[in-house]
Amino acid sequence: MATKIEKYHLEDRCLELSTAPGMTGVRIAQVLTEGLKGKDTITQSTVCRWLKSVREERADETREVYREFIKGRLPNDLDQIEEVQTFFLHIHRNKTFDPEKEELIDADFTRAERGEAGKTVVKIILDKLKLAGVEPPPDKPRGYMDDDESLQPAGVLFIQARSGIQGIIARLASSGIAGPTPEEGEILS
């Protein structure tokens, strides 16, 4: 059923008034009613309900447009995340890429730089696990993973036979980014 705003084709005017500074639902209703010159009245509740429905409709449309945009970008974004993770993993392992030789060579990173790079790799992995729906329970501090008996700092990742973590480690190993897949409970350094 069409509202009076739609019946009298006041949609554009109502939207225009809703963005004007200091305009309330009551004031918009008064202005629209004055514009009808006695033919009818429009109430504040009609204005508010109509504006709410327009906002919800546009929000749905915006969400759909954004979802489609993300679908197109997601594979590239995931590849870039992998590249960033690989970059920090190389630093952590004290390696750098030589573009002339097109291979990894030994580097001269400080222990602190390597440690920070390792923490960054773990953070990226934890973020990927979180986005995949596999994450530590909410009562555990961020950056820590539960090893069933005690909490382990994020700089040292204890691998357990849990499908999400093992899957990522196996994928990293098969792609050559990480060394061999660690056994359950083995420390990655």
Rounded distance between C-alpha atoms, residue 65 and residue 59, angstroms: 10
Q: Is the pLDDT of residue 133 over 60?
A: yes
Dig out the tokens for 163 from the structure: 């499908």
Q: What is the mean pLDDT of the chain?
A: 77
The single-letter DSSP state of residue 146 is E
Q: What is residue 19's predicted lDDT score, i.e. its pLDDT?
A: 93
Burial of residue 50, with CB atoms counted within 10 A of its CB: 0-12 exposed, 13-18 middle, 19 or more buried = buried
Rounded distance between C-alpha atoms, residue 144 and residue 140, angstroms: 7
Express each pLDDT in 78-97 by its tens digit: 888 899 999 999 999 999 88
Express each pLDDT in 48-66 by its tens digit: 999 999 999 999 899 888 8
**Is the pTM value of this prediction over 0.85?**
no
